[in-house]
Structure 1
Amino acid sequence: MNLLYPPVCPFCGKISEEGICSGCRAKIRPVREPRCMRCGRPLASGTEEYCFDCRRKKSYIRQGRSLWLHREPVSGALYRFKYHNRRRWGKVFAGELNKSYGEQLKKWGAEAIIPVPLHISRRRKRGFNQAEIIAEELSRLTGIPMRNDVLFRIRKTAPQKDLGSDGRKKNLSGAFGVSRTWKPVENAVLIDDIYTTGSTVEKAAEVLAAAGVQNVFFLTISIGQGI
């Protein structure tokens, strides 16, 4: 398979056996401290505990972490991953999540890895769910069960990227549902590709909490800089 489709760096497209090439690794910006104690967004000052968004809203998220800031070359790579069928890159991204947050998953006591779902119509059009690809590989690397039969997108919504903060919240109202046959775990981890305003993972966390999950965490590949 590697002879036919040699592994390439998701950021520059050059052949790279190591996944991310050394040149691109030097360009991408990891999320470092200080960062919000809840969502993990970078903070301007070490004296702050929470970002502006997390300070002003109720949250069903216990804690979340992301790998990189959502700017080039990360933003472009994630766009191609989702819309240009670069699904093989999911293994690279999941491997990076495991390297950075494998120990964090243990500290959280993660019992289930749950990908943020797509509506069936969007999944059919795209051919795959990028969050599920990442979650499946992360499950393989960590041994934590991946559950794609728990959380469902029960209402078709407009693309979040086309909406503002308030519009995103309204757009996701009633969008998610949880299987009635699922016995909820105490600690669940949501997986998505991008954390922008947090509306998507927040709504997903809300329905998981309503179903009985005590602590909902999340991991994403990238996160916006915020305010």
Structure 2
Amino acid sequence: MTVHLTNRALCLLLLVLGSSVALREPEGEECLKDVVFIVDVSESITVESFEVQKDFVKNITSELYMSEFNGSVIATLAFSRNVFGAGLLPFKNITILHEGIDGLPHEREGTHTHLALQRARDIITEQGRIGVEKLVVIISDGKSKFPERTIQEANAAKEEGISIVGVGVEDCPCASNIPELERITSPGKFYLIRSLQELSRLVSTIKAEICDGK
């Protein structure tokens, strides 16, 4: 019997199989990292700011996709009271990756940063490739609901060999989050911007964190 798949069905099949494909040996010579992006969708994030965060991740992944050095696999999570997003996906189809980013919900209910870090750790532990560096990039404009639990999750991630890059927002009502974000990030990997609208200025910087300066 011959089974015919529509283009849409084929895309869904690739999405489902993405986590298992990600476990294969890396193909690129550089940019060899398993990367989890975490974007903030708490109540302080406007619709415009949410779109800016999604565009930021899409711009970075587009640049990686076009790089001859790329060997990364990517997951993107959105967090508020809950955490949303799929597991690690290789760059087999940039359209599917970007559709997943565009489909992230805008919950706007609290800043449960610890849950996002916990989910990122679970994804990397369950789906990460052996012998490949692990990186979490977290963007937030607010202090977490449970700071001690957030610090605990970040420390646990770093003890497991996961580097954490943090992007904090200075010009916002929740600027008190800056010391916390600095504390949860790895040394030398904290970036401060005045507003989320400045995120685009960090595309090359964060790409360099993934590609070791490439």
Q: Calculate the TM-score normalised by the size of structure 1.
A: 0.34
Task: Tell me which protein shows more helix as a share of its residues.
Answer: 2
